Structure 1
Amino acid sequence: RKQRTQQSRSFTSFILPKEDGWPVPFYYGACGRLIIEEYAGETLTTYYTKPWLERAKLAQKLLVAAKKLTNDHLGFRFYLTDVSPDNIAVDASGSVYFIDLEDVIIVDRNIPDHEKPVSWTSQHVSELYECASCFTFSRSEICNHHISDHNLYAVCQHLLSPKAVPGIMPGGLLHSTPHLVLENYPDLPLILTQCGESAAPFGRFKAANQLLHLLANITETHKTINRELNPDALPL
């Protein structure tokens, strides 16, 4: 098992190099079972009590990373199976990195036509289970479709939303949304819910784009909002 883990990490680090903009730590190399990677920063868990606007910026970056791993590689799609605040690092500049890639579902985007399953041309929609802390998925279902909303489901439902893992991040990364934000952006809770729970084809993709747009609008006006929320705080 350790040998397979080392090979998985090495392969993923090789085809997703940080220097090309992928949200992973810099990979220095490996010797046997020893892997050397850069220290990417504090875990996302430590940002739980940071100001809401700072957490909103991190939420944006997590959504961008989820979309990038799903869409941007020409040969493969990468689906995260161990999405936990403790497996995500934030560096001094506020960039986010997935630091535990020992178990990733890698789907070949360019398989020959004769090998494509019947379901290949449709989008895989992640199933939602009404169970606290349940992060469930089917490897075979994900691999039998040309694209899945799995990464968006993972980030929205299990990191950002009020239904995120209660023992690690109660209320999710976007907990305690200021009243001023909700007054100006009343659709925020609904869009966040849709990003995590939508069962419609490409519903989560649509909601994720709406959520990104909404968070961008909020953070672009952060100087005014931040002064009203925290009169003594420095601009983020």
Structure 2
Amino acid sequence: MDHLRDQDRLRLLYTLAVNSHPILLQMFPGVEGWPFPRYLGSCGRLAVSASTRPLRHFLGAAAEVAADLALQLLAVLRSMAANDLKYFFYFTRVDAGTFGVFSNGHLFIRDASALGIIDREEGSQPMDGQQEYRDIFSCLAVDCQAAFVSCDSIRDEHSLVMVCQDLLPKLLAGKFLPPVQERIDAFLQRCARGFGDSQGAEEAMEELAEMLKPLRSCDSRFAYRYPDCRYSDKY
């Protein structure tokens, strides 16, 4: 923040402490491929976005819609864990309101304040007594007595496990015929417990994606990828 004036620094720190959502939308704009809505402005904790619905409205959707949204969700997790800028995004909480869906069927992160970011190029710094110091902004949004979470404690599969525990079972439960549903349910149960060292997050997402890809359809309901899905292996 060396190029900022003192007043700008204070404004930025205060905004980050009270509501980090608009800052993230400006730092990682959707037009550059990040899974966020376009930033139009904010006032306090209020952000405005047109033609969107939270993911909770799709928990009872048809099987092909659920499969499509689940595949998009896996793609978002993959892009947030591995990208050219070497940032690792992880969720501090996940529910059906964390994500939203545009009118064209494209899924995005609706609540960016639920994200933590680790700069992989900076590496992790050891925690010591001096780092327990908190400035005046640290107590605005969180309990000052709460201990900071070490970056070393955030594993690559952190967000995937949270999604398997709290979101994917609600989206995919009872949607498909056996034995496909049984395979999906078994995977989600294993994912929710964590994978340990035998399987990484990337391999786990690929495994679930291979189950879901044959279950989605290519038609005008999915305007974000139609009619491209008829001519491109990407979809």
Shorter-chain TM-score: what band? 0.5 to 0.7
Structure 1: which 5+ residue stretches go unaligned?
Answer: 119-137, 162-171, 224-236
Match of 1:132 in 2: none
CA–CA distance in structure 1, aligned partners of residues 193 and 89 of structure 2: 21
1:213 counterpart = 2:221? no
**1:45 Cα deviation from its structure 2 partner:** 1.0
CA–CA distance in structure 1, aligned partners of residues 85 and 155 of structure 2: 13
Map 1:41-190 to 2 at 5 A. Answer: 41-111=52-122, 116-117=125-126, 140-141=149-150, 143-144=151-152, 148-161=156-169, 172-179=170-177, 182-183=178-179, 186-190=182-186
Q: Please give the root-mean-square deviation of Cα atoms over the aligned residues, in Å.
A: 3.0
Name the SS for the 1:68 alignment partner: helix
**1:77 Cα deviation from its structure 2 partner:** 1.2
Question: What is the letter of the counterpart of residue 88 of structure 1?
Answer: F
Q: Percent identity?
A: 23
| Equivalent pair of 1:10/1:30 in contact (CA under 8 Å) | yes
Q: Which has the larger radius of gyration?
A: 2
| Equivalent pair of 2:94/2:114 in contact (CA under 8 Å) | no
Q: TM-score, normalised by structure 2?
A: 0.67
Instruction: Sort the Cα spacing of 1:101 and 1:218 in 2 relative to 1 into closer, same or farther, 3 A.
Output: same
Question: What is the letter of the counterpart of residue 92 of structure 1?
Answer: S
1:9 counterpart = 2:9? no
Which one scores higher on RCO, CA 8 angstroms, separation ≥ 6? 2
Aligned residues: 187
**1:90 Cα deviation from its structure 2 partner:** 0.8
Instruction: Sort the Cα spacing of 1:30 and 1:49 in 2 relative to 1 into closer, same or farther, 3 A.
Output: closer
| Equivalent pair of 2:19/2:45 in contact (CA under 8 Å) | no
Q: TM-score, normalised by structure 1?
A: 0.67
Map 1:20-35 to 2 at 5 A. Answer: 20-30=32-42, 33=44
**1:95 Cα deviation from its structure 2 partner:** 0.9
Name the SS for the 1:26 alignment partner: coil
| Equivalent pair of 1:5/1:103 in contact (CA under 8 Å) | no
CA–CA distance in structure 2, aligned partners of residues 35 and 185 of structure 1: 39
